[in-house]
Amino acid sequence: MRAITVEREIAGRTLSIETGVLAPQADAAVVVRYGDSMVLVTVVRSPEVRPGIDFFPLVVDFEERMYAAGRIPGHRFLRREGRPSDQAILTARLIDRSIRPLFPKGALNDVQVIVTALSFDYENTLDLLGLIGASAALTISDIPFDGPVAAVRMGLLDGELVVNPPFKRLEASQLNLVVAGTKEAVVMIEAGARQVPEGLMMDAIVKAHQALQPLLEMQEELREKVGKEKVPFVTLLPDPEQVALMRERWGAAIREAVTQARKEDREERLKALKEQIVAELTEMMPEEKRPLLPLSFEEAVHQIVRAMILQEGMRPDGRLPDEIRPITCAVGVSPRAHGSGLFQRGETQVLTIATLGATSEEMLVETILEEEETKRFMHQYNFPPYSTGEVRPLRGPSRREIGHGALAERALEAVIPDEDAFPYTIRLVSEVLSSNGSTSMASVCGSTLALMDAGVPILAPVAGISIGLVGGDDKAVLLTDIQGMEDAHGDMDFKIAGTREGITAIQLDLKLKGLSFDLIERALAQAREARLFILDKMAEVIDKPRPELSPHAPRVITIRIPTEKIGEVIGPRGKHIKHIQQETDAVIDIHPDGTVFITCPDLERAERAAEMVRLYAADPEVGKVYKGRVTRILPFGALVEILPGKEGLLHISQISHERISSVSDVLKVGDEVEVKVLGVEPDGKIALSRKVLLGPPPALPPRPTAPPPRSFGNPPRSSGRPPRPRDRGQSSP
């Protein structure tokens, strides 16, 4: 085996594409390296077409392998990768949307692209390598593909546009933009941004397209070295003669059907018309062409809808190209929810519910990019079958649901307050109740309403709009707020969300082989006008976050304690923190920096829990008086708990001014007693006194004086008598 390699310097780092060594039984396989990041990409086409297939069955899978980042995955009882993470699904969708427009129309053979992560250096992201590798493998294979296509990421750091910024710097970037393109045009755009103006976004797109050109040259060079001759797909295409006949004989009926105001009426009319036309033409057509009749009918509808828009400027529901469907909004729809918003645009209706929780309720995510990534803001999107009047089994979220949920989440992330300002975990769930196009952007609008109804202090309201395109040989019409039929028969779904100040998210899906800069710029401008109109409509219902949280939402108090006191607050085996939680029904989260988040059902209990935390973290102060509880009686005194978990000795001599023969005569376990801290020794022993708080000691009774000599009524013996000589043996002179 001999390796064939091409390489270029991209953003100051070497990117290489290699083939000829790994996965030799695949139709084509390449290894893409960028720094120490490395992916293996394989492509395989099935030789036969599966029975009953009438669409192009392209599947793209991104296989996260934790060994690529030097980690062992999963639960301790199952140390292997499980189902794809949301990040892996989003990466696969990004690659799919970049390559799908470049396959021939009507292809029926299964094509599978598998991207396997082999190494990740925490600097060069794997999604771009997977996309470049998928294009390179298809380009050198025998599978028809109008590539190559390549992609780069643009960041906005310190006011400067940066090509392929290192992964670790993306968090600080004002922009995370991925642009995929061919030599002439842009094929796919995906972006998250912090209210970036349209002009700056356009500059970033142009610069990205310039930066990806060397990646296209690499793939062309590789094709010249090892490219195989292309083998055509098995295809299924409408019959032009059948299409022309249907338009001639039933064009007016088809036009009448597609212009029905209600989606349900339109679909019923078209279904009945299809059955009628196929039945009438079946006998007229040769047997080999009869299976094409349903497909030809769909093509006739396709051409009539597009002709109405291009030639008459008329959309199926009668709107002008830049006209938005009627909008209705409501908040407070769910009385027990912390916040709720209902957004309806035409027949698309989305209800979003906001739930606030403790910081400990953040979602923990294990991906190849982060060992333990936590998310305090989540948006999830549900698309039940009743939203389109269908019956199907309910399963877990589909790739589409995960993708739409992530798009709306990205649109709102830029306005979510940081944890210091709003210490809550925030979960949004958007329920699509009725679908007729642009449900993901309706989810953005419904989410904004729900957040403001919940009292979340978002930086600014966000709205989203989808811009469509119908393009002809010499004319292109941009459509604001596309509905389902325009999505199906149009060439583009350009989803753009943002505030009044700028863009927060973009997702471009194309059916064309590329989009010009002029059309991108026009679409951004048209989307801005629509976005401002929608924001005005939303403001009529609620124009800013409510000043107070819902009474059903938990209350969070944030306090700080010295980091060296964290252990004392937690206590041995969590004894202290469990005690607080049992007493107050609080959820307490302590961060390593000493920040304590206290979440309670009501403010009163939250404040009580906060005071208990402060007491556990407090040090006894000399000279301060505490109300303590007697915890133990000793022969020489009593132990008194003056702070949670902190006991001091009340010596028997400090209990009372009076002499006490036994401590238990005065104190018992459980008694509450006021004491004063006399001192704290270096080893933490605390000396307490009770008697100093009892006032001065009582005065002692006066000592009694000597009694006067008894006289019995006679004068003193010395009265009138000379003093007796001291020496009794000496006579008087």
pLDDT at 242: 96
pLDDT at 474: 75
Calculate the alpha carbon distances from 222 to 36, 402, 514 in Å: 21, 35, 23
- Element containing residue 340 per DSSP (H, E): strand 339-345
Query: Are residues 593 and 638 both part of a single domain?
Result: no
Section 638-666 average pLDDT: 87
Instruction: Report the percent of the chain where pLDDT is more than 70.
Output: 95
Residue 183: pLDDT band by 50, 70, 90 thresholds?
Answer: very high
Tokens of 635: 């022969």
The answer to whether position 524 is within a domain reads yes
The answer to whether position 114 is within a domain reads yes
pLDDT in tens, 240-295: 999 999 999 999 999 999 999 899 999 999 999 999 999 999 988 998 899 999 99
pLDDT at 729: 46
The answer to whether position 714 is within a domain reads no
Least confident of 67-76, 167-176, 335-344, 694-703: 694-703
Of 481, 509, 539, which residue sits at a domain end?
539
Q: Which domain holds residue 269?
A: 240-312
Q: What is the pTM of this model?
A: 0.88
pLDDT in tens, 548-562: 999 999 999 999 999
Query: Are residues 497 and 387 both part of a single domain?
Result: yes
Q: In this structure, which amino acid lies at residue 184?
A: E
The answer to whether position 597 is within a domain reads yes
Query: What is the CATH classification number for the domain harbouring 453?
Result: 3.30.230.70
Query: Are residues 442 and 532 both part of a single domain?
Result: yes
Query: Are residues 501 and 586 both part of a single domain?
Result: no
Beta strands in 448-519 (DSSP E): 463-471, 476-480, 492-498, 503-510
Domain total of the chain: 5
Tokens of 359: 């910081």
Cβ-proximal residues to 282 (8 Å cutoff; 6+ apart), any chain: 290, 293
Query: Are residues 575 and 671 both part of a single domain?
Result: no
Strand partners, 112: 44, 59
Query: Are residues 520 and 450 both part of a single domain?
Result: yes
Query: Are residues 50 and 75 both part of a single domain?
Result: yes
pLDDT at 195 over 50: yes
Maximum pairwise Cα distance, the chain: 184
Give the β-pairing of 150-157 and 111-119: unpaired
pLDDT in tens, 556-612: 999 999 998 899 899 888 988 999 999 899 999 999 999 999 999 989 999 999 998
Query: Are residues 421 and 493 both part of a single domain?
Result: yes
Helix (H, G, I), strand (E, B) or coil at 84: coil
Query: Are residues 106 and 159 both part of a single domain?
Result: yes
Separation between Cα atoms, residue 622 and residue 118, nearest integer Å: 62
Phi/psi of residue 667, nearest 5 degrees: -125, 150
pLDDT at 730 over 70: no
Of 539, 566, 588, which residue sits at a domain end?
539
pLDDT at 697: 72
DSSP letter for each residue of 439-492? HHHHHHHHHHHHHHHTT---SS--EEEEEEEEE-SS-EEEEES--HHHHHHSSE
- Element containing residue 194 per DSSP (H, E): strand 186-196
pLDDT at 698: 67
Query: Are residues 659 and 560 both part of a single domain?
Result: no
Helix (H, G, I), strand (E, B) or coil at 433: strand
Query: Are residues 221 and 274 both part of a single domain?
Result: no
Of 597, 617, 637, which residue sits at a domain end?
617
Helix (H, G, I), strand (E, B) or coil at 567: helix
Cβ-proximal residues to 323 (8 Å cutoff; 6+ apart), any chain: 315, 480, 481
